[in-house]
Amino acid sequence: MNLASHPSHAFLPYPAAPVANAASGPLAGLTFAAKDLFDVAGYPTGGGNPHVLAMSGIKTATAPTVQRLLDAGAAFVGKTHTDELAFSMNGKNAHYGAPVNGAAPGRVTGGSSSGSASAVSNGLCDFALGTDTGGSVRAPASHCGLFGIRPTHGRISLAQCLALCGSFDTCGFFARDIGTFARVAEVLLGDDARPLPASPRLLLAEDLFRMPTPAALDALLPVVGGIEAAFGNATPVTVADRALEDIWWAFRYVQGWEAWQADGAMIEQYGLQLGPDVAARFAFSKSVTAAQFEASSAIRRAFTAHLAALLGNDGILILPTMPDIAPLSDAAGEELETYRNRSAQTLCLAPLSGFPHLSLPLASRAGAPLGISLMGPAGSDRSLIAFAEKLVMALS
């Protein structure tokens, strides 16, 4: 089947080009897709924008992270849609439309790794690469009922991948089951620099559990109870070192400053026609001053030190991924923006700190999935996934 014609609208309609993979390896027998920010030889890289696509040309080299998967035996099946310039979290692209959420077809996928989450949730590939700057893997993972990780910052290469914010951008990935997810993690993450102990110290993000809606909280708390029944009580903690809204604004200023440094010249030089929501974000980004960036960077450093002390070398933080299940696909733009901003107050903590954040599809309500998350110290990614494997087994 031509995946680009699948009703999920997950894949871009690029002409198929041969992409060789190893005949054997740890990922042999698995198929994968890559968000259309990563270069793949034989394909253009469009970044969710027609002008960027027009300037791309056909790439002659493959991004190192994609190549690692190919060398491990995984077979590439295509490039997936992304929100425009990766600067959104809804999964709706003004130029190309919206991929379909395979776990809740009447609801948004979330973005900006919308096509990758759609492809995996619709069973069109075994796993997929995405990127996460402010939540672009974790949000769609929660919305689409997938395992998804934002790794420790810099742990997976983003060479030959379109940038948005250098100090926030990370490469993440999705899978439907924890076994496949762990196989991919072994290839992409390698060994932990700071492995967690066999019995980590569990922490419950008391302040962050005030963010979900009452209905979402009712769905999440039994999962927390199951975790504590299997692994012992989690100590309630306050994650934020100041008002969450102040931390979120620090994130917004740093993100805006870096986004304009990355894309502003291109937007202005070539007159890129952006969707209204993305255009508004770049207009805000252009307005961020150096003084705002510096003040926000100081808040970032203080919060990171606070979170590092809280987690130590042995802590796993339990927190909600999103404030609720995915909004309906026909929700108004203003409603989606409000939901995005509320979500970002929790999602921004991992990019600000650079610590790994793993979303698990362990809750649901109203027939739609809802993620719950684990966060650990920098460099503990594989340990988090190993704990998740034990957790899934305990709750099954």
Q: Is the peptide bond before 112 cis (omega within 30 degrees of 0)?
A: yes
* Placement of tokens 């209905």 in the chain: 215
Nearest to 352 by CA among 201, 170, 91, 140: 170
Phi first, then psi: what are they for 76, rounded to 5°? -80, 130
Closest CA to 115 of 140, 95, 149: 140
Report the residue count for the chain.
Answer: 396
Count of Cβ atoms closer than 10 Å to residue 217 Cβ: 17
Pick the catalytic residue from 35, 92, 116, 118: 35
Asked if 177 and 378 count as a contact pair (C-beta separation under 8 A), the reply is no
* Catalytic residue status for 286: no
Q: Give yes or no: 114 in active site.
A: no
In whole angstroms, give the CA distance from residue 360 to residue 370: 8
Whether residue 193 contacts residue 222, with contact meaning beta carbons closer than 8 Å, is answered with no
Supply φ then ψ for residue 81, to 5 degrees.
-60, 150
From 136, 142, 343, 359, the catalytic residue: 136
Q: Looking at 88, 112, 118, 142, which residue is catalytic?
A: 112
Catalytic annotation present for 112: yes
Catalytic residues, by residue number, are 35, 112, 136
